[in-house]
Amino acid sequence: MKVINSLRDISLLQINEKEVLVIACDSAGGLGEKKYDQVKVSNKILGKYTVKVPLMEVMSIGAEVISVIDNLAVEYKPTGKEIIAGIKENLKLLSSAELLNGSTEENIKTVQTALGVTVIGKITLEKLKKYTFSNKNNIIVAAGLPLVGENLMKYKSKAVNLKKFLQLKELDYISQFLPVGSKGILYEAKIMAKENNYDFELINNKLDLLKSAGPASVILLSLKEKKFSKLKNEIDLPLNRIGKLI
């Protein structure tokens, strides 16, 4: 087994001459319905949003999801069961609900919600190269707005959800996808440029490029400038041109 270096928040393990395992994870704490949770949100929504992040990270490079593991630091009933229902709601969009496995805390009473989710995917080396390449002079577009916590719940129609991500994946003129999390849009845009051995040229826009995008409320897209108008007609999300690969 060989480790393949990646600039993204994923692990790549080459398991044979042709195939690579892709591993991504995410966690959440202090959000939920328990007494000491800092942000009150339904357990089902929490599960749905937490699994979305590693799913998008794995699928953004073209991998097929083969396993999902939830580590829930809460009791199974009622909290864990409700979180799992949210996780499965997203997995059903991929017809992957049966791939879920996990654990809950049954020995200690918990007063605050915490969980981690790991997603494992598989991809061929050939396909991996395709999904980590963009042409020079492609523009980078931010789909969605950077939102976190209560603002995410308030303006969730302006955030990327798994359904909209899957719609974007169907557009053959998008070269690359890169989810944005807590490090912000600018950081991930520079990662996309570096991944291609290009420089990043910033385009003036009104977005806060340093703000956390929470559970991947934004995804970066690489495409040709002439396709931007077409993109705006095909997806119901805020779209902002943030830079160019030069």
Question: Are both 118 and 226 inside the same structural domain?
Answer: no
Least confidently predicted of 72-81, 145-154, 193-202: 145-154
Question: Are both 145 and 224 inside the same structural domain?
Answer: yes
Question: Are both 21 and 116 inside the same structural domain?
Answer: yes
> How many residues in total does the chain contain?
246
In the listed set 109, 129, 149, which residue is the last one of a domain according to the structure? 129
Mean per-residue pLDDT, 150-158 = 91
Question: Are both 12 and 121 inside the same structural domain?
Answer: yes
Q: For the whole model, what pTM was predicted?
A: 0.94
CATH of the domain at 25: 3.30.1330.10
Q: Is the pLDDT of residue 59 over 80?
A: yes
Can you give the pLDDT at residue 87? 97
Q: Is the pLDDT of residue 166 over 80?
A: yes
Can you give the pLDDT at residue 1? 87
Q: How far apart (Å, rounded) are the C-alpha atoms in residues 8 and 219?
A: 13
Can you give the pLDDT at residue 98? 83
In the listed set 129, 164, 193, which residue is the last one of a domain according to the structure? 129
Can you give the pLDDT at residue 149? 84
Q: How far from the centroid of its chain's Cα atoms is residue 203's Cα? A: 24
Can you give the pLDDT at residue 150? 85
Backbone angles phi, psi at 68, to 5 degrees: -130, 130
Q: Is the pLDDT of residue 73 over 90?
A: yes
Which residue range is the domain that position 211 belongs to? 133-245
Question: Are both 104 and 140 inside the same structural domain?
Answer: no
If one counts every other C-beta atom within 10 angstroms of the C-beta of residue 163, the result is 10
Q: Is the pLDDT of residue 130 over 80?
A: yes
Confidence class for position 94, pLDDT limits 50, 70, 90:
very high
Question: Are both 79 and 194 inside the same structural domain?
Answer: no
Question: Are both 53 and 96 inside the same structural domain?
Answer: yes
Q: Is the pLDDT of residue 77 over 90?
A: yes
What's the one-letter identity of residue 137?
N
Q: How far apart (Å, rounded) are the C-alpha atoms in residues 216 and 160?
A: 7
Confidence class for position 62, pLDDT limits 50, 70, 90:
very high
Q: Is the pLDDT of residue 96 over 80?
A: no
Question: Are both 140 and 118 inside the same structural domain?
Answer: no
Quick one: which of 208, 201, 37 has its CA closest to 113? Answer: 37
Mean per-residue pLDDT, 21-36 = 96
Can you give the pLDDT at residue 116? 98
Can you give the pLDDT at residue 15? 96
CATH of the domain at 186: 3.90.650.10
Question: Are both 38 and 120 inside the same structural domain?
Answer: yes
Q: Is the pLDDT of residue 95 over 90?
A: no
Question: Are both 114 and 218 inside the same structural domain?
Answer: no
In the listed set 112, 129, 146, which residue is the last one of a domain according to the structure? 129
Can you give the pLDDT at residue 81? 98
Question: Are both 97 and 149 inside the same structural domain?
Answer: no
Can you give the pLDDT at residue 144? 98
Question: Are both 9 and 110 inside the same structural domain?
Answer: yes
CB-CB contact of 18 with 124 (8 Å)? yes
Can you give the pLDDT at residue 70? 98
Q: Is the pLDDT of residue 97 over 80?
A: no
- Is cis: bond before 215, omega within 30 of 0? no
Backbone angles phi, psi at 116, to 5 degrees: -135, 145
Ramachandran quadrant class, 74 (left: phi over 0; alpha: psi -120 to 50; beta: rest): beta
234-245 pLDDT, tens per residue?
Answer: 999 999 999 999
Token duo for residue 154: 């308030």
What is the tally of structural domains in the chain?
A: 2
Can you give the pLDDT at residue 52? 97
